[in-house]
Amino acid sequence: MKTDVVIIGGGVIGTAIARELSRFNINIILIEKEDDVAMGTSKGNSGIIHAGYNDDFNTLKGELNIKSNPKFDKLCADLKILFKRIGSLVIGFSQEDFRKLKELKENGEKNGIENLEIIRGPKLFELEPNLNPQAKYALYAPSAGIISPYKFTIALADNAVINGVKVLLETEAKDIRIEEKQVYGVVTNRGLIETRIVINAAGLHADEIAEAAGDNFKINPIKGEYQLFDKQWGNLVNHILFPIPTKLSKGILVAPTVHDNLLIGPNSYWVKDKDDPATTKAGTEEVCEGARKLVPNLPHQDLVASFAGLRADIEGRNDFIIEASKKIRGFINVADIESPGLSSVPAIAEMVSGILKEVVKEISPQLELNCQDDFVETLVEQPKFADYLDKTGEWQEIVEKDTDYGEIICRCEKVSKGEILRAIHQPLPARSLDAIKRRVRAGMGRCQGGFCSPKVLKILSEELKISPLKVSKKGPGSEILKTKTKEIIKETGVKFKDEVRV
């Protein structure tokens, strides 16, 4: 296989870069080791688009967040995903907190954010009636917003695929082939992909990829645990509520999600294993305790899910790495994308596009980077039954055209069979139960797939023309079912005959 550019990593960074570069008339392959995109940090994070007052404008973090924030309205409208600019409040309880809020505000204003405001007194509780009554001050940033980070990633990938990017799933980079300090290819579990340019967007594993190309940095994963509450509680708060930030993190927040759930988290601690997003009892307690400082009455009885995410961190470094390698031609690192990474996505992609132009000039001047005339910037809106509950007349027309939209598979999230079929056949198709869940929310609700997973499994089996035994939760090795009923007893039957087990 041969291509112009290989992007390693199907997180929000890799897919955003893929989409941005698909504007050009070049061949791009994105490889992802899991069975879907958004399988790492991009699915386990807060989904916040920050206003940009936290970091110094002289850092990439500060600059790219500020540049990106205003772009989200159009980008998300183009990609047909939800983005809600609900604003954020950093909550202060003491005089000292007040000073810190003032510092944040000043920094934000230096960064060019104009509408920051410090709120105090009754107005605070008008904005947030369920806020801890001991709260005294808040830094209000109206431009902060919420997004679904995995839906964003999938939409970016869909759009990239429509524009010609080839996404290879279950494809893991094992090595980078380098000859005379120039990239010549990526060795994967599926063979060699010849390329002169590699973009390392491997997230938590970016250090291992970089090492193969001779660049040295060490990523330490930081784990953050979250809890998600039932949809009836999304309106418990109206804004994203943060505590006063610390050096390590922006703290345990309380916020609604774009799908009206209530989200709390994350805590923040270093771990060794990059691939173990397990939740812990201590973490759960820490997250609850932290969140209760902001909102004392949390609906613990209506917990829908706990999850954890791991984010990349390089010790001693407090900024993104977005640069062409100084040692190897054709190798671009996009690493250490910690918070506010998600908030910086559009500007990161544009910056990488600029770097690519330089790299191309350097290594293959004959390759002319031109924008494709037929670049498709927008995705087509796909109807979701949950959005039509108060316009049933319009849904009736949809059902009349395609009866699959009249069969409700997921009762909790009100997802029709038509939507699930579409997810299986969209540009970046869903191949597993979790992939369906991320695309159309079947199984995401209060019963957590108890009722719909047998049905979704059956649909996947029929559409992909595979045995139900091959249908997985999240790729090979995570198959849901073990054997046909009767097979185990047939295998072990002989053993039972003489054994007195009863």
Partner 1 sequence: MEQNKIICISCPIGCRMTIQSKDGKITSIIGNACPKGIKYAEEEFINPLRILTTTVKVIGGELPLVSVKTEKSIPKRLLLKAMVEIAKIEVKAPVKIGQVIKDYLLGTGVSLVATRNIKRVDSNLFS
Partner 2 sequence: MKLEYDLVIIGGGPAGLAVALEARRNTVKDILLLERDKYLGGILPQCIHNGFGVQYFKEELTGPEYAGRFITKLKDCQINVKKETMVINITSDKRIIAINRDDGLLHIQSKAVVLAMGCRERTREAIAVPGSRPAGIFTAGTAQRYINIEGYMPGREVVVLGSGDIGMIMARRMTLEGARVKAVLEIMPFSTGLIRNKVQCLDDFNIPLKFNHTITRIEGGKRVEKVTVAQVDKNLQAIPGTEEEISCDTVLLSVGLIPENELTSEAGIKLDPVTRGPIVNENRETEIEGIFACGNVLHVHDLADFVTEEGEIVGRAVGEYLKGNRKFRSQPIKIFPGDNIAYVVPQHIDFIVPGRKKIKLFMRVKKPEERVKINLIDDKGRVLTAYKKRIVTPGEMVSVFLPEVLLDDKLKNITISIKRD
Smallest distance from partner 1 to CB 484, Å? 8
Does position 478 bind partner 2 by CB under 8 A?
yes
Site for partner 2 (CB under 8 A): which residue of 9, 92, 277, 429? 277
Find how far residue 19's CA is from the centre of its chain: 15
According to the binding rule CB under 8 A, does residue 389 interact with partner 2?
A: yes
Cα separation values, 9 from 6, 172, 352, Å: 10, 9, 14
Query: Of partner 1, partner 2, none, which one does residue 473 interact with (CB within 5 to 8 Å by kind)?
Result: partner 2
**Residue closer to partner 1, measured from CB, 84 or 425:** 425
What's the rounded Cα separation, in Å, for the pair 150 and 156?
A: 10
DSSP 8-state class, residue 387: G
DSSP 302-362: GEEEEEEEEE--BTT--S-EEEE-SSSBTEEEEE---SSTGGGHHHHHHHHHHHHHHHHHH
**Residue 481 engages partner 1 in binding (rule: CB under 8 A):** no
Instruction: In angstroms, give the least distance from the CB of 485 to partner 1.
Output: 6
Q: Nearest CA to 203 among 11, 354, 485, 447?
A: 11
Least distance in angstroms from the C-beta of 437 to partner 2: 12
Which positions ≥6 away from 47 have C-beta within 8 Å?
146, 147, 148, 149, 257, 258, 263, 342
Q: 130 is in the binding site of which of partner 2, partner 1, none (Cβ under 5 to 8 A by kind)?
A: none
* Binding region for partner 2 (CB under 8 A) out of 113-121, 214-222, 323-331, 487-495: 487-495
Beta strands in 61-209 (DSSP E): 83-84, 88-92, 117-120, 137-141, 145-147, 166-168, 173-179, 182-188, 191-194, 197-200
- H or E segment to which residue 254 belongs: strand 253-256
Applying CB under 8 A, does 468 fall inside the site for partner 2? yes
283 binds partner 2 (CB under 8 A): yes
Site string for partner 1, 422-461 (x = CB under 8 A): ------------------------------------x--x
The residue among 270 and 496 lying less far from partner 1, judged by its C-beta, is 496
Residue 210 has φ and ψ, to the nearest 5°, of -65, -35
Cβ atoms within 10 Å, residue 373: 6
Comparison of 307 and 320: residue with beta carbon closer to partner 2: 307
Q: Which does 177 bind (CB under 5 to 8 A by kind): partner 1, partner 2, none?
A: none
* 279, 292, 363, 375: residue in contact with partner 2 (rule CB under 8 A): 279
| Stretch 460-479: interaction string toward partner 1, x if CB under 8 A | -xx-----x-----------
Binding mask 406-445 for partner 2 (x = CB under 8 A): xxx--xx-x-------------------------------
Query: How many whole angstroms separate alpha carbon 425 and alpha carbon 383?
Result: 15
Give the separation between CA 155 and CA 19, rounded to whole angstroms.
Answer: 10
Binding of partner 2 at residue 318 (CB under 8 A)?
no
Shortest reach from residue 460's CB to partner 1, in Å: 12
CA dist., res. 327 & res. 331, Å (int): 9
Binding status of residue 182 toward partner 2 by CB under 8 A: no
For residue 238, give every residue at least 6 positions away whose Cβ sits within 8 Å of its Cβ, in sequence order, or none: 86, 127, 128, 256
Q: Which of the residues 390 through 409 are near partner 2 (CB under 8 A)?
A: 392-393, 395-396, 399-400, 403-404, 406-408
Give whole-number Cα distances, 133 to 91, 122, 296, in Å.
Answer: 11, 10, 9
Closer residue to partner 2, CB minimum distance, 77 or 489 = 489
Nearest one of 343, 341, 266, 272 to 307, comparing CA atoms: 266
Q: Identify the CA nearest to 146 among candidates 104, 96, 83.
A: 83
- HSE, side-chain direction, 13 A CA sphere, residue 244: 15
Does 482 bind partner 1 (CB under 8 A)? Our answer is no
**Residue 137: which residues within 8 A CB-CB, separation 6 or more?**
91, 92, 93, 97, 98, 101, 118, 119, 120, 124
User: Is 328:215 a contact under the CB 8 Å cutoff?
Assistant: yes
d(CA 208, CA 300): 40
446 binds partner 2 (CB under 8 A): yes
- Applying the rule CB under 8 A, the residues between 483 and 502 that interact with partner 1 are 484-486, 489-490, 493, 496-497, 500-502
Structure tokens at 474: 């999240």
Binder of partner 2 out of 293, 329, 451, 464 (CB under 8 A): 451
239 part of the active site: no
Residue 24, binding choice from partner 2, partner 1, none, Cβ under 5 to 8 Å by partner class: none
Q: Which does 461 bind (CB under 5 to 8 A by kind): partner 1, partner 2, none?
A: partner 1
Site membership for partner 2, residue 371 (CB under 8 A): no
For position 281 contacting partner 2 by CB under 8 A, the verdict is yes
462 binds, among partner 2, partner 1, none (CB under 5 to 8 A by kind): partner 1
Q: Return the one option of partner 1, partner 2, none that residue 276 interacts with (CB less than 5 to 8 A, by type).
A: partner 2
- Give me the residues that bind partner 2 (CB under 8 A), please: 227, 232, 275-281, 283-284, 303-307, 385, 389, 392-393, 395-396, 399-400, 403-404, 406-408, 411-412, 414, 446-451, 453-454, 458, 468-469, 472-493, 501-502
- Give me the residues that bind partner 1 (CB under 8 A), please: 458, 461-462, 468, 484-486, 489-490, 493, 496-497, 500-502
Q: Which residues are catalytic?
A: 50
